Structure 1
């Protein structure tokens, strides 16, 4: 085979595996009808320590909710959550994550059916689904496998000697979601951000929703709906994250219509 033929063959193979577009989906209260971090924290503490674990959960959850009520940024609360895992075996927590999912997903209300149906529709059209969450892999990987998500962008607790240190590099919350999504888009140069979708339910999801041309709100948070409705108004311009994604991938958002497409309304 000549060099040219080899290159052409490689290009065709690459094109065959290139997704038509990407779909970024928040998890808690967007894909599943609960907060995975709290549900799993309670499950694994009670599973291992019984009544003492239940008491430990109430103390930890109460402290985290107190911080949030006092106005602590979600990124700070996210970091505080993972400090509860300091010293725990990463492999042991992963195994408990699988056990938690098997039990939790048996509840018919665990998954939000309309979101699952949307993801199924996108995958049938050749899209790749990417879960984006401040939760962590022990909770998220079983969920991703169940819904056919190709990637998980999540908070990654640091591990040393097989055990969690209690620290994280970057919480995938708020601006952390934007950064993670932009990195994922950069890894798919054949995919245009204006063609991509994102699903979220909370104001903290807006930085992620801004990165794509087709943001979608899940649930009834009026602030999220108002924000995206304003983005769709004539003359609103490009969603800032989407324009940045287009620019960073060498696209001229004006000549390619990115500005218009990035402001498409919710369906």
Structure 2
């Protein structure tokens, strides 16, 4: 691979793609694999996580609760279903946030390396990374034993400060790259640690996040017109 001129980091859900991939894939997989019981399970997971969010549970903790819903599922089957899920969703014109996708492809054409940074997991993120041309994927990693998902994570969920750590690790591995020359894209306040590590942070559609990041760029998720965050 050619040495990249800069690194460009991007969150996935509601930044590069319009949906929340973890929930959308959970519905897709459990419904297809387990029928009505699976659909009911997926709905119960959503309801529990909504209750946790309403109670102020940290996102990192809620992320772990989500992955427990995958306990007992064969890892290979989940991976194969992820590829099918991506192919179906990507075929729909509304899957991507066009402005973000176009911006990332522009960076790629200019010699940057793309890095997807997500609390989602490889079954969902890897097909997207291959399609967009991302060189690196930093995401939550479900544990497996004897080919079956355990419901626990290997390491920390990639949310909040874990995203900052991921950016720093990759920048340390590319000492010729100046962080001031790098870009990062995110939509939620949990992306703030990642965005503040680079010289060119871009907020995608997240007005609350934009208020916390003066001096950045705001990229509406609908029309793709960029503006200073203060606008």
TM-score using structure 2 length = 0.91
Q: Pairwise mapping of residues 32-51 of structure 1 onto structure 2 (< 5 A)?
A: 32-51=17-36
Q: Residue 78 of structure 2 corresponds to which residue in structure 1?
A: 93
Please tell me whether residue 76 in structure 1 is matched to residue 61 in structure 2.
yes
Could you tell me how far 1:111 is from its partner in structure 2?
0.5
* Residue in structure 2 matching 1:159, options 144, 150, 155: 144
Q: Which runs of 5+ in 1 are unaligned?
A: 1-15, 233-263
2:143–2:149 contact (8 Å) kept in structure 1: yes
Ranked by relative contact order (alpha carbons within 8 Å, sequence separation 6 or more), the top structure is 2
C-alpha separation between the residues in 2 aligned to 1:172 and 1:187? 19
Q: Residue 17 of structure 1 corresponds to which residue in structure 2?
A: 2
Please tell me whether residue 190 in structure 1 is matched to residue 176 in structure 2.
yes
Q: Residue 62 of structure 1 corresponds to which residue in structure 2?
A: 47
1:26–1:199 contact (8 Å) kept in structure 2: yes
C-alpha separation between the residues in 1 aligned to 2:85 and 2:198? 32
1:229 alignment partner, SS class? coil
Please tell me whether residue 116 in structure 1 is matched to residue 116 in structure 2.
no
Larger Rg: 1
Q: Deviations over 1:76-110 (max 9, x none)?
A: 00000111111221111100100111111111000
Q: Deviations over 1:28-68 (max 9, x none)?
A: 00000000000000000011111221111111111111111
Q: Residue 209 of structure 1 corresponds to which residue in structure 2?
A: 195
Q: Residue 175 of structure 1 corresponds to which residue in structure 2?
A: 161
Could you tell me how far 1:230 is from its partner in structure 2?
5.7
1:214–1:266 contact (8 Å) kept in structure 2: no
Q: Quick check: which one's helix share is greater?
A: 1
Q: How many residues were matched structurally?
A: 220
Q: Quick check: which one's strand share is greater?
A: 2
* Dislocated runs of 4+, deviation >2 Å: 264-267
C-alpha separation between the residues in 1 aligned to 2:215 and 2:4? 30
